[in-house]
Structure 1
């Protein structure tokens, strides 16, 4: 997994809000920042405004999240959503991702908790933003019906789960439904900030069509010479990235074909099989089953 490119961070009032800090995060490889905006009905992160501004200044994608206190109370969930949306709207562009952080105060009623979460996310959607939910696998499993949430809001899950190492080791992936982002570290690059990896694309608000994806269709062929692959017949330009060749897609790095490995391209994750081809369908890799779809776009849909 050494070639994963789409890393990001999430920050709260515990992290700095300076331009220098976000430039350091960007320089270290973070391409997005999810900023805590609010909690409950009264708390606003005092660093949120500058955190969003400075993440944007250094070229990072930005999003916001709310730490929920509503448990299984739909009416309270709608109040917290209104509070969050009001504060987020002052800091983030319409159509941004607004995530519901649901990891505390759940009631003992799974159905009530799920209904409250969906009510919150419905309010976010109605306000013109993209709703996500966040928690860790045991909490999702014990307190929510995540399947019902994902059925209404596909690819809306941001899940936490930390492997033994400070890298996104997919042998320790916390498999839940609809994952777009995995928070895999609470001390990313030793910078005292949560680290995340984007598994699908960073969504664009499309008025009801989130989750629809198309993969770019490069048509350049490649030629090999002395164990290296090139994109020109003069053998001067080494092949790099995902390239269509002989009706299949391959991934190259400095002229080397990559086999048996995950790679990110076009903001999606792919797997290159033993013959170098990007795989389709459900594939068993290690001890996990990965769904790469069957519609000719090859990107990773989910992991079980």
Structure 2
């Protein structure tokens, strides 16, 4: 883990002010947004506003009531997304699925059917453009969910709860499992009656947030259109008005001569025998550019 970043998860049972959590070092919150298709956290807006006031990152979680029902999982995902939109949760953050045992959430289905429903929920969240993760107790994740399938599809995305007796993030008793992005290590962080979590991966930062703006590829200047016609001047060479310039044909054979101190219209140019030449007549009349100047 590159850095210890602490977050608290809050519901209507916690304060609407994040001041005390921030004062004790929390840099972010995971706010309960929804449960099933019927519940919205009445304190969420104020909790989010307070978190923003203290410059804390804001993620959201949904408390599952769908058990192993794929159909119900999709309905709950839509309810979750609607609330995330209403609360203006950034799509750079996570929407977490809290899938744990409750009177409303049946967990006794097979690992296969449980996982299928969980993945159905997560797929809807991902499709909407959010980062997505799965929360539960470490024991339940190991025994009731095929976390290999979840991690295979969504990478390091598990938020595992496992409480050491010390109540602190003691990595000697960290819940050993693959794909853990965040560890909930206490339900009474600093005696504040709030869950304490430590991030094992970088949950928040983007390149822009780090000041690493994506570099735009350097565009090469477009070449200027080549002018293939014009007028060339053959100046006097070595101050000798009798000096003549020998022409070439297109295959590089020398042909006739032209006088200096003359002007010629050219119709094309190309390299012949390693020299740039201008065509001033037929295909047997190419004058070496080194003996001329373009004047028009």
Task: Assess if the C-alpha contact under 8 Å between 2:66 and 2:72 holds in 1.
Answer: yes
Aligned to 2:12: 13
Q: Does residue 70 of structure 2 align to residue 71 of structure 1?
A: no
Q: Which structure is larger by alpha-carbon Rg, 1 or 2?
A: 2
Counterpart pick for 1:43 among 39, 59, 74 = 39
Q: Structure 1 regions of 5+ residues with no counterpart?
A: 207-213, 215-304
Question: 1:48-77, CA deviations, whole angstroms, 9 ceiling, x for partnerless residues?
Answer: 111112111101111000010111110100
Rounded to whole Å, the distance in 1 between the matches of 2:143 and 2:160 is: 14
Rounded to whole Å, the distance in 1 between the matches of 2:205 and 2:71 is: 29
Aligned to 1:85: 81
Rounded to whole Å, the distance in 1 between the matches of 2:86 and 2:34 is: 12
Rounded to whole Å, the distance in 1 between the matches of 2:148 and 2:204 is: 20
Q: Does residue 176 of structure 2 align to residue 175 of structure 1?
A: yes
Q: CA RMSD in A?
A: 2.0
Runs of 4+ in 1 over 4 A off after TM superposition: 203-206
How far the C-alpha of 1:139 sits from its partner, in A, is 0.7
Q: Structure 2 regions of 5+ residues with no counterpart?
A: 213-296
Question: 1:77-100, CA deviations, whole angstroms, 9 ceiling, x for partnerless residues?
Answer: 000000011001111122320000
Task: Assess if the C-alpha contact under 8 Å between 2:57 and 2:204 holds in 1.
Answer: no
User: Residue 162 of structure 1: SS of its match in structure 2?
Assistant: coil
Question: 1:152-186, CA deviations, whole angstroms, 9 ceiling, x for partnerless residues?
Answer: 00110100000010211112111222111100010
TM-score of the pair, normalised by structure 1: 0.64
How far the C-alpha of 1:204 sits from its partner, in A, is 5.2
State the number of aligned residues.
203
Counterpart pick for 1:52 among 48, 73, 95 = 48
The 3 A distance-change label for structure 1 pair 73 and 204 is: farther
The 3 A distance-change label for structure 1 pair 45 and 96 is: same
Task: Assess if the C-alpha contact under 8 Å between 2:4 and 2:200 holds in 1.
Answer: no
TM-score of the pair, normalised by structure 2: 0.65
Aligned to 1:282: none
Greater CA drift, 157-166 or 197-206: 197-206
Task: Assess if the C-alpha contact under 8 Å between 2:6 and 2:197 holds in 1.
Answer: yes
Q: Does residue 153 of structure 2 align to residue 152 of structure 1?
A: yes
Rounded to whole Å, the distance in 1 between the matches of 2:178 and 2:119 is: 15
